């Protein structure tokens, strides 16, 4: 059971990186935040519950079958703003 939970946490960590460290650094270099960082600023601290974190596209055109980004570049979930439930 511990191995399964460790693998799940590894997949979550990979998904949180989105396109990878280089892309996150590029966003920061341009003075921008990532989608997850913006969501954390919007919602009450610690309230965000992400869903569909492991969704991947099924496109095979233009070499996309070789590119897999967890979450497919979309971050969705729910949390609270001033104690009120919201979906983002």
Read off the tokens for 63: 């070499």
Mean pLDDT of the chain: 86
pLDDT tens for each residue of 16-54: 777 778 888 998 999 999 888 999 999 999 999 998 877
Q: Locate the domains of the chain by residue range.
A: 2-87
pLDDT of the residue at 86: 98
pLDDT band, very low/low/confident/very high, at 87 (cuts 50, 70, 90) = very high
pLDDT tens for each residue of 67-77: 766 656 788 99
């Amino acid at each position: 059971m511990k191995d399964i939970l460790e693998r799940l946490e590894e997949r979550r960590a990979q998904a949180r990186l989105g396109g990878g460290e280089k892309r996150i650094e590029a966003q920061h270099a341009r003075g921008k935040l990532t989608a997850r960082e913006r969501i954390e600023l919007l919602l009450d601290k610690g309230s965000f519950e992400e869903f569909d974190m492991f969704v991947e596209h099924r496109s095979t055109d233009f070499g996309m079958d070789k590119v897999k980004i967890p979450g497919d570049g979309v971050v969705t979930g729910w949390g609270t703003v001033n104690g009120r439930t919201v979906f983002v």
